[in-house]
Amino acid sequence: MPTAVITGASQGLGRVTARALAGRGWSLVVDARHAGQLAEAVDGLTTVTAIPGDVTDPAHRAAIAAAITPLGRLDLLMNNASHLGPSPQPALRSYPLAEFGQVYQTNVLAPLALIQLLAGPLTAAGGAVVNVSSDAATDAYPGWGGYGSAKAALDQLTAVLAAEEPGLRCYAFDPGDMRTAMHQRAFPGEDISDRPEPEVAAAALLRLLGQQPPSGRYRASDYPPAGLRSAGPGAADPGADPAVPDPAGQQNATVAR
């Protein structure tokens, strides 16, 4: 049975992706800080181990790694949990340095620490690391200097990891705008109802994982649904959506909340 670790699975992209993979027969180890929300997010899923905690806490990360051992394999590490920083986001000249450090702890240090802990079983399975990125990693938006530079560091970390670890597929995945709690915090008071639901990006990620492209940086928009593909990285499979390992025989299962 394929197995994944997904951080930040109580809401948004992490929650949708976790429920979609569990629906396809994957075993999962998931986390988030708020235990009640996490339990609600995985309610009814029988192949999911939920471990409440903070990815910046070494003891919590060790608990995640320990939960993988009895499952016997690890095919995917999705570093999805993220910290935006203050809202509204401050300009760099007045950015509180303690907050800046916290943004880096969550978005860069914790993902690397999990990669270090889990590289053994991931490599043994020929698995994948997905580090969830952002367009703020590549575009310079005023106010996004903390979060954006941390995501840029995560992108470069992903690229170097790919160069060092030919036995792993290493992806920086930019999901695009999503109508989530984090996005609302980034745009306080704004109506974000025109942003796509996280189901759209999660479905693109599953298509990417199914196609197993070379390590690199990909956007959700590179992996549109079948029928909307023209060219580019996601165009390799013009037929049915590809087979994310799916022992339950539900290759085209709808991404479920």
Selected binder of ligand NAP within 83, 207, 217, 219 (CB under 6 A): 83
Q: What is the torsional sign of CA 116, 118, 122, 123?
A: positive
Binding of ligand NAP by 33 (CB under 6 A): yes
What are the contacts of 182-189 at 24+ separation with CB within 8 A? 182/12, 182/82, 182/84, 185/84, 185/87, 186/84, 186/87, 186/89, 188/87, 188/88
Binding of ligand NAP by 8 (CB under 6 A): yes
Q: Which residues of 75-85 are buried (b: 16+ CB within 10 A; e: fewer)?
A: bbbbbbbbbbb
Stretch of residues binding ligand NAP (CB under 6 A), selected from 8-16, 155-163, 216-224, 242-250? 8-16
| Complex with ligand NAP: residue 160 or 192, whichever CB lies closer | 192
Binding of ligand NAP by 5 (CB under 6 A): no
Cβ of residue 238: shortest distance to ligand NAP, in angstroms?
27
216-255: which residues touch ligand NAP (CB under 6 A)?
none
Q: Do 152 and 137 form a contact (C-beta atoms < 8 A)?
A: yes
Binding of ligand NAP by 146 (CB under 6 A): no
Residue nearest to ligand NAP (CB): 12
Tabulate helix, strand, coil % of the chain (nearest 5): 45, 15, 40
Binding of ligand NAP by 181 (CB under 6 A): yes
* CA–CA dist 198, 70 (Å, integer): 31
H or E element that contains 146? helix 145-164
Binding of ligand NAP by 134 (CB under 6 A): yes
Selected binder of ligand NAP within 47, 54, 95, 213 (CB under 6 A): 54
* CA–CA dist 82, 45 (Å, integer): 24
Cβ of residue 100: shortest distance to ligand NAP, in angstroms?
15
Binding of ligand NAP by 180 (CB under 6 A): yes
The DSSP code for 188 is T
* Residues designated catalytic: 133-134, 147, 151
Contact set with ligand NAP (CB under 6 A): 7-14, 31-34, 37, 54-56, 80-83, 106, 132, 134, 175, 177-178, 180-183, 198
